[in-house]
Amino acid sequence: MMTDVAEQSGGPIRPGAEQPSANGSEPVVAAPPAEDGGPTEARTGTAEPTAAARIVHIRERIDEIDHALIALWQERATLSQEVGATRMASGGTRLVLSREREILERFRTALGADGTQLALLLLRAGRGPL
- Please give the pLDDT value at position 26: 52
Helix axes 97-111, 113-127, angle to 10 degrees: 140
pLDDT, tens digit, 9 for 90 and up, residues 22-74? 444 555 555 455 555 456 788 999 999 999 999 999 999 999 999 999 999 99
Instruction: Note the pTM of the prediction, 2 decimals.
Output: 0.66
Angstrom distance (rounded) from CA 16 to CA 31: 6
Q: Which residues, in sequence order, are bridge partners of residue 27?
A: 20
* Structural domains of the chain sorted by starting position, each given as residue range(s) with its CATH number in brackets: 2-59 (no CATH), 63-127 (1.20.59.10)
